[in-house]
Chain A
Amino acid sequence: MIVMPPPDAAVLARRGAIVAALRGIVPGEGVIDAEIGRRAFECDALTAYRQLPMVVVLPQTKAQVVEVLRYCAANKIKVVPRGAGTSLSGGALPLEDAVLLGMSKFNRIVEIDAANRCAVVQPGVTNLAVTQAAQPLGLYYAPDPSSQIACTIGGNVAENSGGVHCLKYGLTTNNVIGVELVTMEGEIVQLGGKHFDTAGYDLLGVVVGSEGMLGVVTEVVVRLLPTPPGARALLVGFPGIEGAADCVAAIIGAGIIPGGMEMMDRLAIQAAEDFVHAGYPLDVDALLIVELDGCEAEVNHLVAAVEEIARKNGATTCRVSQSEAERLLFWAGRKAAFPAVGRISPDYLCMDGTIPRKRIGEVLLRMKEMEKKFGLRCANVFHAGDGNLHPLILYDANKPGELDRAEGFGQDILRLCVEVGGVLTGEHGVGVEKRDLMGAMFNESDLNQQQRLKCAFDEDSLLNPGKVFPQLCRCAELGRVHVHGGKLRFPDLPRF
């Protein structure tokens, strides 16, 4: 288990006064003090980690956010922002001595601006609600995490979330063009807006994916795209993982960027088929879902090309959706894969490493060996197009030692991802879960630069501490210039 920073006893001792002060800022039910109310916020979707927050605050206005942060900064009280609590990495895990700042009341779609192809929304609006609001104009918001009915835009911004369509349409970072941010000091800054690019440092770019540690997002401008006029999906089965992996590489090598390209292994196919009866072939080791979107002429052209590539790579089944209903059915199994796996195991951990596509076959085989080593099963459902793996490690939290084994398994998978040239997380974030693995990918100097960025926004490390970095930021130390006796470290280097 990952250990969180020890609580500040002085803050805990003042809890009553803190709650009273917060009530002065956010009236009525906006401050939740009773334990039963706080319980609802004790974890996010990384349910293995739980912590009752000191107090929950649900602000309704930007002015309240500013006031709460100012008060907390002045009194050195930690703050953990939260959207819908669907983070899979523990990004929204509360701290015993921190205010949990829930942004759920920021749930207004401020404007759909078709002329500028964007929407202005509050951070508590769900991902799907943006698309639903834009739909009457033939527009949509492209990033579509599987959690899109629940997760919020604020959470998406913090995690730089992806989805099945990000291969072609990009992650959150490529589709958010502005945010309004309140810093820990309570300053409001506008980063980006309805225009392109920024005039100075791209702070919008660093806020996206910063896991709630640089500021609290109070408004977001997202890019809207026209809904593709049509799409068809192919369901392609392979007798081995290798063939499926080669097929993925060949499709991209042929210059085709599908709207989505997903892979499932035997265990995942079986679980999904049992759950939603999507008509998946059960006699294959790997299944690809390839979606091609665009105008009819383009879709037909690409479907033919992909069919040909699939055949050349040894596909044993290949079905092309003949109707919109059938396309959705092909996807139904994939979209329900996590809950489907949830039906065959009391608990599971969802991992999220990315690897170079050409290593997919090899990595999946090594995971099979790890299953034996840890005595646990692992199902694979993932974004094959961009090499983003989602191994689901099945375990039973009630069996002593299984969670530890599952965590060990997960860590070995992520280390393997880094070893083959990949990364620890493709879209779920580091959070608590992968925090102590950061050293596998980054050395101290690398982490210091990231922390220097953090220090520019939050010198006292009050905003969401204990996440992402294996060690808390020591801003004073990191900011120091290395002066010894009035001189720099290397005063006598020769001239070049």
Chain B
Amino acid sequence: MTLLQPKDAAEAAEMILWAGSERASLEIRAGGSKGGLGRPMRADHVLDASRLAGVVDYEPAELVLTARPGTPLKDIAALLAAQGQMLSFEPPDWRELLQGGGEPTLGGTLACNLSGPRRLRAGAARDFFLGFAGVNGRGEIFKAGGKVVKNVTGYDLCKLMAGSFGTLALLTEVTIKVMPRPENACTLLLPGLADEAAVGLMAGALNSPHEVSAAAQLPAIPARRLGFADSALTALRLEGPAPSIAFRAEALQLLFGSGPRLDAPESEAFWRKIGEVAPLLSLPGRVVWRLCPPPSVAPKLVAAILEKSPSAEHFYDWAGGLVWLSLDAADAGPDAGASLVRAALKPFGGHATLMAASEETREKVAVFEPEPPALAALTRKIKQGFDPYGALNPGRMREGA
């Protein structure tokens, strides 16, 4: 096992070529915070991207930032905050969830397409990924996309990279779109709603013109873990200029009833915890799933799972479009509940990912939703085109890919 630490794209390309010539595989790593995400890898060597760090260019008035992928996310966030800007997709910190340490980086965040509560309205990491340079598994340096906010020149390979978990190419430079930080924010909490009613309410709120920028439903137990009184909580976030928030909060309360209100700092802390999956953390002997169903069916889906696994716990983000589910590992059985979860999801559509489970479990169980044959064939051909030797992150997403 060799630790390869390229200082630039040219060196990285040489290393990847070398790996290819040795028929050796590489685990791409930067901050190491997401080692526990996806299938465990058995790579021969580690390609450490942490020296590929630093901001290359940042033009606040252009809404564009170019950086090398190993740049810590917290550095990016601080740089943007100083200019009143932010990453709109609100990348969550999953270090506790994944029980790893490390330092989340910009490249890792994009490669895993990690988005937090604002994804609901603003879009996912992939929606802000404008361009990149990288090295494919053949050791070829290439670039795609651009450094401006609007571009349709050539295929959108940024989308292909986002969520490819380093299985197609090593990113060596990335350009993203950044957004102004809202002047102000507040969160409305509506207590006591059952899931079905809450998801209906959240849909109504999102379809209202009051620009809800995050919507979550916490059943009583997860709510209690966040330090709230013993009752379910439906949370709606509003962001914007202060007079606008005041008006919209009033309007929403007229529509849906009133409850406690979190002001900007508390609101920020609340949604950070939602992104971090805090309501389901530190439960020993559990596995955690992340389900993306069509939002409106989420309560039915959860009910179907609860019926089979009464010890399951859950909460909803993205107005129901994201369900976090914690299962008792012993109840869930050797497949960590995969067959239960996926059978429940099947009639509704969507996908389920096994997020937190032991390495042995993630090795055996399909961590990402299995693809139907025609789609799986396309996936295989794309992987083959970019990384024919299977050098990059072998088996991270699928067995043998």
B203 contacts which chain A residues (CB < 8 A)?
114-117
The reply to whether A116 and B295 contact each other, CB–CB distance below 8 Å, is yes
Is the C-beta of A12 less than 8 angstroms from some C-beta in chain B?
no
- Are the CB atoms of A115 and B209 closer together than 8 Å? no
- Verify B160–A356 contact, CB threshold 8 A: no
Cβ-defined partner of B154 (8 Å) among A171, A442, A455: A442
> What 0/1 pattern do residues 203 to 235 of B give for CB contact below 8 A with A?
100111111000000000000000000000000
B164, B208, B294, B368: most-surrounded residue (chain A CB, <10 A): B294
Q: Is A419 located at the chain interface by the 8 A CB criterion?
A: no
Contacts A249-B61, A456-B382; A194 near B294 (Cβ below 8 A): yes
Q: Which of A116, A160, A171 has the most CB of B within 10 A?
A: A116
Chain A residue contacts of B388, Cβ below 8 A: 479, 481
Q: Kindly report which residue of chain B lies nearest to residue A298, judged by CB atoms.
A: B244
Cβ of B151 < 8 Å from any Cβ of A?
A: yes
Q: How far apart are the CA atoms of A487 and B142 in the complex, in Å?
A: 24
In this complex, how many residues of chain B approach chain A with their Cβ under 8 Å: the count is 101
Beta-carbon contact of B378 and A226 below 8 Å:
no
Query: When the two chains form the complex, which single residue of A194, A200, A202, A297 contacts B126, counting CB atoms closer than 8 Å?
Result: A202
Q: Are A193 and B294 in contact (CB under 8 A)?
A: yes
Contacts of A171 in B (CB 8 A): 150, 152
| Chain B residue contacts of A137, Cβ below 8 A | 207
Interface residue? B264 (CB, 8 A): no
Q: Which residues of B contact A394 (CB under 8 A)?
A: none
| B108 in the interface (beta carbon within 8 A) | no
Chain A residues closer than 8 Å to B149, beta-carbon distance: 354, 386-387
Secondary structure at the B interface, as helix, strand, loop or mixed, is: mixed
Residues of chain A with a CB closer than 8 A to B152's CB: 159-160, 171, 209, 425-430
Residues of B near A149 (CB, < 8 A) are none
Q: How far is the CA of A226 from the CA of B63 in the complex (A)?
A: 25
Task: Look across to chain B and name the residue whose beta carbon is closest to the beta carbon of A213.
Answer: B155
Interface residues of A toward B: which range? 35 or more
Within 8 A of A (CB), among B357-387: 368-369, 371-372, 374-375, 377-379, 381-382, 384-386
User: Could you say which residues of chain B place their CB within 8 Å of the CB of A301?
Assistant: 241, 243-244
CB–CB A430/B153 < 8 A: yes
Report the stretch among B27-35, B175-183, B324-332 that lies at the interface. Answer: B175-183
- In the bound complex, do residue A162 and residue B150 qualify as a contact, i.e. CB atoms below 8 Å apart? yes
Closest to B382 in A: A456
In the bound complex, what is the Cα–Cα distance between A294 and B208 (angstroms)? 11
Q: Determine the chain B residues whose CB is within 8 A of the CB of A294 once the complex forms.
A: 211, 240, 244
Q: Mark B188-199, 1 if CB is under 8 A from A, else 0.
A: 000000000000
| Bound CA–CA A327/B18 (angstroms) | 62
Q: Please report which residues of chain A, range 366-386, place their CB below 8 angstroms from some CB of chain B when the two chains form the complex.
A: 383, 386
Would B150 and A200 count as touching, CB distance under 8 A? no
The reply on B157 being an interface residue by CB < 8 A is yes
A493 touches B21 (CB 8 A): yes
Whole-angstrom distance from the CB of B311 to the nearest CB of chain A? 26
| Per-residue interface assignment for chain A, residues 452 to 473, with 1 indicating a CB less than 8 Å from any chain B CB and 0 otherwise | 1111110000000000100000
Q: Would you list the 9 A-B pairs with minimal beta carbon distance, nearest first?
A: A205-B159, A298-B244, A255-B180, A452-B385, A199-B369, A456-B381, A194-B294, A199-B351, A115-B296
